[in-house]
Structure 1
Amino acid sequence: MSKRNKKHQDHEEHADESWLLPYSDLMTLLLALFIVLFGMSNIDAQKFQEMSEAFHSVLTGGSGILDHNALQSSTINGISDSQLPKTSTDGLMNQKKQLMQQEQESLEALKKQLDTYIENNGLTDQLDTKLNQSQLMITISDKALFPSGEADVKPDARVLAKAISTLLQEFPDYEVIVSGHTDNVPISTAKFPSNWDLSSARALNFMKILILNEKLDPMKFSAIGYGEYHPVASNDTNVGRAQNRRVEVSIIRKYQDGDQQIGLPATKE
Structure 2
Amino acid sequence: MSRRRNKKSHEEHMSESWLLPYSDLLTLLLALFIVLFAMSSVDSQKFTELSRAFNMAFEGGTGVLENNSPMPDGMLTGMEGEEGTEKEKEEKKKEVTADAEIEKLTYIQQRMNAYIAENHLAEKLETSLTDEGLLLTIRDNVLFDSGVAEVRERDKYIAREIASLLVMDPPRNIIISGHTDNVPIRTVDYESNWELSVMRAVNFMKLLQENEKLNPAWFSAKGFGEYKPVAENKTEAGKARNRRVEILILPRTSLDDKN
**TM-score between both structures, scaled by the size of structure 1:** 0.66
Contact kept in structure 2, 1:176 and 1:252, CA below 8 Å: yes
Shift of 1:93: 3.1
In 1, the alpha carbon distance for the partners of 2:31 and 2:102 equals 62
* Aligned alpha-carbon RMSD (Å): 3.3
CA distance in 1, matches of 2:159, 2:49: 61
Alignment partner, residue 151 of structure 1: 149
Closer, same or farther: CA 89–40 of 1 in aligned 2, 3 Å: closer
CA offsets 1:108-159 (integer angstroms, 9 cap, x no match)? 1211111111111121111111112321100001111111101001112221
- The residue that corresponds to 1:92 in the other structure is 90
- Identity, in percent, stands at 40
- Of residues 205, 208, 218 in structure 1, which corresponds to 2:206? 208
Aligned to 2:175: 177
The answer to whether structure 1 residue 47 and structure 2 residue 38 are counterparts is no
Q: TM-score, normalised by structure 2?
A: 0.68
CA contact (8 A) 1:182 1:245 kept: yes
Contact 1:181 1:230 in 2 (8 A): yes
Residue 224 of structure 1 corresponds to 222
**Gapped runs of 5+ residues in structure 2?**
1-22, 53-69, 255-259
- Pick from 244, 247, 252: which aligns with 2:242? 244
Whether the 8 Å contact between 1:111 and 1:136 is mirrored in structure 2 is: yes
Structure 2 equivalent of residue 103 of structure 1? 101
Show CA shifts across 1:179-211 (max 9, x none).
000000000111100100000000000011111
Separation in structure 2 between the aligned mates of residue 82 and residue 38 of structure 1, nearest angstrom: 21
SS, match of residue 88 in structure 1: helix
Which residue in 2 is equivalent to 1:254?
252
C-alpha change, 1:162 and 1:51, in structure 2 (3 Å) is farther
Amino acid at match of 1:90: E
Structure 1 unaligned runs (5+)? 1-29, 54-73, 257-269
Distance 1:90 1:240 in 2: 46
Report which of the two has the higher share of helix.
Answer: 2
Farther off after superposition, 36-45 or 101-110: 36-45
User: Partner residue of 1:141?
Assistant: 139
- Give the C-alpha shift of residue 172 in structure 1: 4.6
Q: Does residue 118 of the first structure (1) align with residue 116 of the second (2)?
A: yes
> 1:178–1:222: 8 Å Cα contact kept in structure 2?
yes
- C-alpha displacement of 1:171: 4.6
In 1, distance between residues paired with 2:173 and 2:26?
A: 65
In 2, are the aligned partners of 1:203 and 1:223 still within 8 Å (CA)? Answer: yes
Paired residue type of 1:147: D
Cα distance in 2 between the residues matched to 1:222 and 1:248: 12
Between the aligned partners of 2:80 and 2:95, the Cα distance in structure 1 is: 29
Separation in 2, partners of 1:170, 1:202: 24
Letter in 2 for 1:47: K
- Which structure has the larger Rg over C-alpha atoms? 1
The within-5 A match list for 1:183-194 is 183-194=181-192
Q: CA deviation at 1:47?
A: 3.1
Pairwise CA distance, 1:252: 1.1
Q: Paired residues, what number?
A: 207
